[in-house]
Amino acid sequence: RKRQLLTEIVLRNRLTALVVDADTTCRVLEQLLLRSYGVQTQGVDNGRDAVTLIASGVKFNLIIIDMILPILNGLEATRQIRDMGVHCKMLGVTACSGESERQAFLAAGVDVFIEKPLDPEHLVPILRELDG
Amino acid sequence: MLGLDADRLRADLNRLLAFLFHQGILDEQYLQLQQLQDESSPNFVSEVVNIYFHESEKLLRNLRSLLMDREFSDYDKMGIHLNQFIGSSSSIGAKRVRNVCVAFRAASDQNNRAGCLRALELLEHEYCILKNKLHELFQIEQQRLLAAGVRYPMLN
């Protein structure tokens, strides 16, 4: 009943995710969506804090990152995270919908490009894959 | 009688939701939002929507402030605000507001100040409709919960 319109999955492993979005509404919703599947989440609202957190050694199974971010934008933050040797799954989730934006985000290092809103149809297969 | 009140209010709620979907004010993303609400977070939808209202009103002020500046030329900044507005509106299912933002972004991408001004007027209008309707929805829901609560008092 709780998630009649959402695909229900039960994760075997404890997954962790970082949500990087300057918009509070989007960040809160994405974190809540992840938590509804049992994923532990942290959220930051700019690219620099995301890079700092990862550089401090905190590990995540999944990073969800927007393209337009203050202080350090999503493209550059993604590049810096990948340059650190971080190989976790990265989803670029953004309101920018053009092909050039998609190519730029993929070239920066995200694995998947998703136009907002993040929905279960996109998220659940990724969580299943991460859960093995 | 009290039970009938709760049922009547539920019918009102469903009618209003149907209207909002039919008019394109909301889309199915709003239903997904509702699905995340449960006993552990009974006010989740209204809390998230209130965050959206708070953030949106800041964005609208920023957009108006940019456009009212005679020396205005920072369309990149305007694009950033609009991207944020598009993202948050999409995330709560505010379809018409989102669509107006997309048109506004197109005008901004073309550095079309007159087009941006027209789009801003329309955006403020659509946002006002959305806010009023969602407030109405939440009020009916509150009344329905009260009526249902009175119908089913706590039993020892």
What pLDDT, on a 0 to 100 scale, did the predictor assign at position B156? 45
Detail the DSSP E strand segments found in chain B.
Answer: none
Say what the pLDDT of residue A101 is.
93
Query: In the prediction, which pLDDT does A132 show?
Result: 83
Residues of B with CB below 8 A from A5's CB? Answer: 28, 31-32, 35
Task: Give per-residue pLDDT as tens, A28-58.
Answer: 999 999 998 999 999 999 999 999 999 999 9
pLDDT at A4 over 80: no
**For residues A42 and A53, what is the distance between their CA atoms, to the nearest angstrom?**
10
* Predicted pLDDT of residue A2: 41
Contact A25 B55 (CB under 8 A): yes
Do the chains contact at B44 and A32, CB–CB below 8 Å? yes
Sorted by where each starts, the structural domains of chain B and their CATH numbers stand as 2-30+44-147 (1.20.120.160)
CA distance A57 to chain B (A): 30
Q: Which residue of A has its CA nearest to B51?
A: A25
Judging by DSSP bridges, how do beta strands A62-65 and A89-94 pair with one another?
Answer: parallel
Taking CA–CA distances from A73, the nearest residue in chain B reads B80
Contact residues, chain B, for A71 at CB < 8 Å: none
Give the confidence band of A1 by pLDDT, cuts at 50, 70, 90. very low
If phi > 0 it is left, if psi is from -120 to 50 it is alpha, else beta; for residue A48 that is alpha
Question: Around A22, how many Cα atoms within 13 Å sit in the side-chain half-sphere?
Answer: 22
Closest among A16, A103, A118 to A66, alpha carbons compared: A118
Q: What is d(CA B53, CA A86) in angstroms, rounded to the nearest whole number? A: 36
In a mutagenesis test of the A interface, which of B88, B99, B108 is the best target, namely the one with the most A β-carbons within 10 Å?
B88
Cα–Cα distance measured from residue A75 to residue A108, given in angstroms and rounded to the nearest whole number? 6
Contact predicate B141/B17, CB 8 Å? no
Q: For chain B, first and last CA: distance in Å?
A: 23
pTM here is: 0.89
Task: Report the amino acid identity of residue A69.
Answer: L
| Gap between the Cα atoms of B39 and A126, Å rounded | 27
Q: Which of B44, B52, B83 sits opposite A25 (nearest CB)?
A: B52
Instruction: Find the length of chain B.
Output: 156
Cross-chain Cβ contact B35/A26 below 8 Å: no
CATH superfamily placement of domain A16-131: Response regulator (3.40.50.2300)
pLDDT score of B24 more than 50: yes
Which helix H or strand E contains B106, and what residues bound it? helix B95-109
**Could you tell me if the ipTM is greater than 0.85?**
yes
Say whether residue A35 is in contact with chain B using an 8 A CB cutoff: no
**Spatial separation of the C-alpha atoms in residues A50 and A46, rounded to whole Å:** 7
